[in-house]
Structure 1
């Protein structure tokens, strides 16, 4: 049907909205994944699987920036100075890349250098960025090991003089199988040799999808921009289209900032005219198809009869006639109805737009709906299927606007732009009945994401798909032939990996992959040997029985039940001899990647995590070796009904079994864990219907138990992992599950598990020279330790230049010879014979305070020099150099400094030392250094705390402090010493004052000084001065008068007292240091005059104080003795 439409010019506001990446952007603008989100079955179930694995249990959300934060965390903790860390450098030698060499992984970023067609730049969604300089014969990875390895779109600035500038976006919103997100746009200024994230597009905040560049659908540059402007435009999920005019330094939102459309696309003509699409789940007024001639002001050109519901719409501009533009989208309930292998209804639409110019305020364009001509061959594998937009791309042949290429699960070409039904099936899945076992088009792969044409020959075409990069030399051929360009393009995504445990030195590896089935590599040390393919679809758990000529492997296919397990006999030529389905009849509720395990003592016993309960097969050998069986079986299977777990009301989708393991010594102990952090134990698991024992630790988080590892020599020792973010990740028991201790250690940013630490997918225990080495496969690399020390356990990164920060989904290790295989989700399999135990850490060198430091106050910062091995530190402080009297001890210090706030003052000697706790154990202690605390403050004598009726003229008094040569006194009025009106230093233990105000509250405090080093102030003491009896009451002595005759004196003198009222008091003489030399009288004094003699002949020359003390006052008179 052909419709001619004149589209009114609806100009969106030209005001540019500056995107503020921060708290000013409401988080509700950004949509999080939800486990029940509508989607194709494979997507919905995979989505739930990864949601359960990685969501923060506190929020129910996968932290949007968790990937970038964990990469930064790993870089700062392990990689910042790792070139000086011999242990990390040596670990590079342990590991090597195994492959697969000839198989590529999901590729969304692909382009050809406009200047040199031998240069191809390609990026995997979890395998990073790669470059070929020989047209795909060989590849080099150009992403650094510590960088984000997510690539979802790619563009080169092809203007003359700008060709070295490339950009790629990150974050696969729909169908992501790595459980990781994006964070920003990366830029290269050296033709793809290296990449750096644009700071304006990256944020370190977690817990929310808080910035637009977390998920990027497409990225373009303006080929018509002047040289002074580097114009980059990005189509994002939920925040529409953003534009930068300065190469990514700053950004403006130009379309759909509030639309919240989850799907978008953008394309640009050679003249700088933009087209963009926003899905209908966004705002009513900002959805549909748009056109802009400057990238700022946009016109909605959606045809009036366009479907109301549409998701992802992709754009194809005809290079030879840019007025012709095609739009292909997934439009539920409208367009062409097709079906997938499960029988699900699929709807897609194809529209052609012919721009005819503009006149004043209107844009003229003609629309034609060509949806009904989309492919629907008889085999469902060839019918139009974008998997709800997961794989969807449309491109127009550069020299012919009518030749159109569409990529979906299959790939198609139409010579009439699908004006008729003259399309050809040219890739993805195979179009005839001569298909191989995998239904793949020869030398091509299903799920096409990108199409790129040669710059010099429009008949040459490249594709990026779930199988990597492919090329055809004649895209117009009746039977298009493809060439794989995947040799050395290591981007495959492994979920699982397994090795032969029965044959020493065997290098046989099998593994399950995203959309590449199950791959098998025989014994070889050649990285470029071919891997065979025993099983198709998404490959999952697999096992190699000890020395057996057959394999067990599972797949997630299209037919129900989707999880199927097979026993496969595979010959030396890579062909299946028999393929027998062995999963049990009645199995249901299997999780997307269902675990199963073979008993290490009897490989004919299998335990299967059947969603809500365990299944056991006691004799797999009893299952006949039949070929191509398609039904589940009942032979020797038992459902262990007592293991059935009840659904928990607080769990959004119920609780499921997520991990299972069986012991070696003693045999027949099974542990299984759940998606809600429950752990159970079966004794004599090989017999009958055993009752589970709940061994869930009281300190376990409510998270997803991702793996369980037994000590092969002692089943009481068990390690388990949790994969969720923001919780503690690894726990161990040494008593069969009675008590559990966190050994997450330095894999966590914070000691409670929150922060940027990676999720832990897998743990394993390997005996090396009698020592247990613990492996942890995480979302940011591989880690090991040989020394468990609770939360102070130090983990060491393995192979930083080989494995790097890749997502490690699974580890398998053989005890006989230390052979280890590592399955990563993005760069294939790595292997190594692990023989070198982590060494004993080097001793620590102390820094501050220096040895023999004096005058240390109560809060002291102790510091030491960092050592190259990343670990924890233990600090001890004692009052003796032999550390018999240890007064303070702390372990698990992650920093190279520690504050101790309880240093007792008073010239006390302290001794301190530090040692390191590393992956290889504890270091020797450092040297012992000494520091001495400062003088304590003096003891207050007068006025004491709370003293009332203090005279307005009096003397502050305190006890002498040994070694003090001065004292500092501060006095203030009110309730605290903030602005003291007295702040002075004296050399004696008193200070005479007068003229204090009556009936006022005063505060004072003291500090001791030794050799100009002041100690800490003591407590603050308050007192209140005397209340006036009347307005005429100014008698500061309270009716008591004292005089001394003679004064100065050489031998004898008299103290003359005049007392107006009876008073009880004490008359004394003090020396200048505040010591009482003699008490002359202590009695009740009657009114009148009296004289008391003083024998000064016994005193040395100097000043002394005569003091008369009553219960209300002190009266001082100085007397000078001269000899």
Structure 2
């Protein structure tokens, strides 16, 4: 019996992306919380363990002895942007733009945003909170790591302090505040690039002291905390005018998130002013809200051209942070006047903790923008929202100081640029920074890749390259499956298990979620799989496992609740390719069950496994009694293995984590072609083993140290697709057989005839003993095998493409053939 102190139910709140009308009972599993809960259950995230794992990863990238040393290839998308958290513009050169991504590092353009290069992808610092360029020395850039918005991936993907570049972004060094976790804003003195102010938000899930307004006068070598309210109050914004750099305004935000909800407001939220370069601060009360239990996130901005003019935007309600008002001061904060005019009630929708920024035109102190759900412009008399032509959920908006018509803004759909004050807006379509949960290679069509993306639905490119992606279905995109007999039937999914049956040509979709599952606890990323050799066969996991034999038109529950109750839900499922009666299920509260009779009886097989979130369960493609399980999470005290194998249906388990860094493992793929070869998707890229888990290596080159949530193996094309959470998708070319030490494939066999209708002959001039012949379909299922002779009868096979696996005393060789 497990104890649920960690997931005690207090309040269920979900982020803006959730589109379902019925909210499941249980802990908050909106994007950020789901990502955090998966990794933190049951003891939280130990930052020291995470840092040690990142160090081990760096060492492993320098030593590679195995087969997999090819380069990963980016396959996009680039035309569907991912979340941008901040923008910085070079003060004298409009060509140079620096952009920070939610979990995708720092990107730089030197041609006004037409082309971009990744300039920062430091492990532990991939989540970017803020960027600032020193006006007095434009090659000096400060980057605050850890997105400070209250949702998305903030809690799971915190940063490790402030990084500094003195060469325009070519190289970076960490200059402190390593325990700040999330950075709301950093600003640099206009005349001295060594004087920096930082609004440090601190931990999101928990309390800590390293938060507040910090100041460095030596370029980050040392830091002094100048404003501190409490260990649960973030400093979220700080601003100055270049015309009066000793006058500072800063905002604080009382906010703490829990696995089961959040408190995003309180009396310690407030607006402060310093008139002596940060030495002393006073709380603003004259005309702006203060000392109220309902005060949420606050944004502030001082006019660059008139330091007397200051704007501050307020939110209310400690849960939703709805728009409260925008206030203007024309006397440097001595008095304030609300200028909302009742026109911005919907500016933050129901999630103001996601925005909360205000900006001012450097050429006109009366031209202000509220950066919220959309961009809202004040022309001195009334507010107007920019409509159409850009994605919602704004996070960054910057004017160029020399040309206020040149503006760059960033949101959940990427980067947008206007050179005429908004008359024409250009979307940047050259940055691959999407956050993917799942991926799939089309079983038949070449160069056709599917991905389930955060806030961008299920996307596909149909042989159109990295800039040719289009949306298949909406919401947040998750599991993607094809019927394993009729590949014209595609299944997609949005949050909380809203599964769709989709026509592969027209993309017309029909919702098919089991009716009974609608009242059950469902995972943010609800698992389902199609059944090998069974047209229309699907299983789906909520609290119970559901089975459909008719493409999802009807469903039958084939298990009891396989969780521990209260808060758990199914997190992963698989069906054996060898025997479809064998199914395995894993839950986010640490349970694993197996059935060998199509769900009539289920046996718990997790008694001796770690009690952390189960990230994937997989049946072996060739051996029916062999199963694998992987785990998310971080260890608390003792060693936490993340990968296990059983050869007896889960009765006993073997830890095969060996030399892996102690990081969450998100997926395991077993290669039926290469013996003892497995691939792992982890929070630090992809790892591979060629000895059944006795040793692991970082797989391939040119894949950033990014979270990889999912992998998909296409057997016939020998291609591995990786879904990253921050850098879109990559593919890796796999060998068709084990490589020799000089990485050169040697083929000893040929086959004939090919195409073939009945008897397939194996030809060789070498004196090599054939141990076994095995025919495998493109799903990895073994269909035929023979231990005798140099031919095999394939007449019983259906028309299609197959692989012949030739097992010899020297190794294994794979040959492709076509059955006619």
**TM-score normalised per structure 1:** 0.59
Q: Relative to 1, partners in 2 of residues 1:345 and 1:719: Cα closer, same or farther, differing over 3 Å?
A: closer
In structure 1, the partner of 2:424 is 481
| 2:70 matches 1:92 | yes
Tell me which residue corresponds to 1:291.
273
**Alignment equivalent of 1:373, drawn from 329, 332, 342:** 342
| Distance apart, 1:40 and its partner CA | 4.0
Q: 2:188 aligns with which of 206, 209, 221?
A: 221
The whole-number CA distance in structure 2 between the counterparts of 1:672 and 1:38 is 26
> Judging changes above 3 Å, is the alpha-carbon distance between structure 1 residues 552 and 285 closer, same or farther for their aligned structure 2 residues?
closer
The residue number in structure 2 matching 1:569 is 503
Asked which structure has the greater RCO (Cα within 8 Å, sep 6+), the reply is: 2
Asked if the contact 2:626/2:646 (under 8 Å) is kept, the reply is yes
Contact 1:385 1:410 in 2 (8 A): no
CA displacement at 1:839 relative to structure 2: 6.2
1:278-310 per-residue CA deviation (whole Å, 9 max, x = no partner) reads: 124599996411111212211222336615121
Q: TM-score if structure 2 supplies the norm length?
A: 0.80
SS in structure 2 opposite 1:816? Answer: coil
Is the counterpart of residue 511 in structure 1 residue 451 in structure 2? yes
SS in 2 for 1:366: coil
Match of 1:329 among 314, 335, 338: 314
The answer (yes or no) to whether the contact 1:97–1:802 under 8 Å persists in 2 is: no
1:16-165 pair list within 5 angstroms: 39-41=13-15, 44-46=28-30, 47-55=32-40, 57=42, 60-64=43-47, 67-76=50-59, 78-79=60-61, 81-82=62-63, 85=64, 87=66, 91-93=69-71, 95-144=72-121, 146=123, 148-159=125-136, 162-165=137-140
Deviation at 1:133, TM superposition (A): 0.8
Question: What SS does the corresponding residue of 2:296 show, helix, strand or coil?
Answer: coil
C-alpha spacing 1:578/1:231, structure 2 compared with 1 (3 Å): closer
CA offset digits 1:239-283 (Å, max 9, x no partner): 211111111111111001635313521112112121001124599
Paired with 1:102 and 1:280, the residues of 2 have a C-alpha distance of 37
Change (3 A) 1:826 1:329: same
Pick one of 728, 731, 735 that aligns with 1:831.
731
What's the CA shift for 1:410?
A: 2.1
Supply the distance in 1 between the matched residues of 2:41 and 2:497 (Cα, whole angstroms).
27
SS in 2 for 1:152: strand
Please, which of 438, 450, 454 is the counterpart of residue 496 of structure 1?
438
Unaligned regions of 5+ residues in structure 1, if any? 1-31, 203-210, 334-343, 358-363, 377-381, 428-440, 557-561, 624-634, 749-756, 843-1123
User: Corresponding residue for 2:631?
Assistant: 722
Equivalent position of 2:785 in the other structure: none
- In 2: Cα distance, 1:391 partner to 1:281 partner: 14
Equivalent residues in 2 for 1:684-1083 (5 A)?
684-685=597-598, 690-696=600-606, 698-726=607-635, 727-748=640-661, 757-769=662-674, 771-788=675-692, 793-799=694-700, 801-835=701-735
Alignment partners' CA distance in 2, 1:345 and 1:455: 34
Partner of 2:355: 391
The CA RMSD measured in Å over matched residues stands at 2.8
Q: Is the 8 A contact 2:121 2:705 kept in 1?
A: no
**2:269–2:295: 8 Å Cα contact kept in structure 1?**
no
Q: After TM superposition, list the pairs within 5 Å mapping 1:245-644 onto structure 2.
A: 245-256=217-228, 258=230, 260-262=232-234, 264-270=236-242, 271-272=244-245, 273-280=247-254, 287-293=269-275, 294-303=277-286, 306=289, 308=292, 309-332=294-317, 347-356=322-331, 365-376=334-345, 384-385=348-349, 387-416=351-380, 422-427=382-387, 441-442=388-389, 444-475=390-421, 480-487=423-430, 489-501=431-443, 503=444, 506-523=446-463, 526=465, 528-546=466-484, 548-556=487-495, 563-569=497-503, 571=505, 577-587=507-517, 588-610=520-542, 612-620=543-551, 635-640=553-558, 642-644=559-561
Alignment-derived partner of residue 573 in structure 2: 660
Unpaired stretches in structure 2, ≥5 consecutive residues: 1-5, 18-27, 203-207, 257-264, 743-820
Alignment-derived partner of residue 22 in structure 2: none
User: SS state of the match for residue 539, structure 1?
Assistant: coil
CA change 1:773–1:780 in 2 (3 A) is: same
Instruction: Tell me if the contact between 2:77 and 2:432 (Cα under 8 Å) persists in the aligned partners.
Output: yes
Aligned partner of residue 716 in structure 1, secondary structure:
coil
Q: Distance in 2 between matches of 1:545 and 1:491?
A: 30
* Distance in 2 of aligned mates of 1:281 and 1:96: 40
The 3 A distance-change label for structure 1 pair 413 and 549 is farther
Listed one character per residue, the Cα deviations across residues 1073-1112 of structure 1 (whole Å, up to 9, x for unaligned) are xxxxxxxxxxxxxxxxxxxxxxxxxxxxxxxxxxxxxxxx
- The alpha carbon displacement at 1:72 in A equals 1.8
Larger radius of gyration: 1
Shift of 1:383: 5.1
Which residue of 189, 194, 198 maps to 1:233? 198
Check the 8 A contact 2:107/2:120 in 1, yes or no. Answer: yes
Q: Give the CA deviation at 1:607.
A: 1.0
CA spacing shift, 1:354–1:804, aligned 2, 3 Å: closer
Classify the secondary structure of the residue corresponding to 1:74: helix
Match of 1:177 in 2: 153
Shift of 1:86: 5.3
Q: How many residues align?
A: 697
Instruction: Report if aligned partners of 1:114, 1:163 keep a CA contact under 8 Å in 2.
Output: yes
2:584 aligned to 663, 668, 671, which one?
671
Find the aligned partners of 1:38 and 1:154 in 2 and give their Cα distance: 33
Using the alignment, how far apart are the partners of 2:75 and 2:522 within structure 1? 31
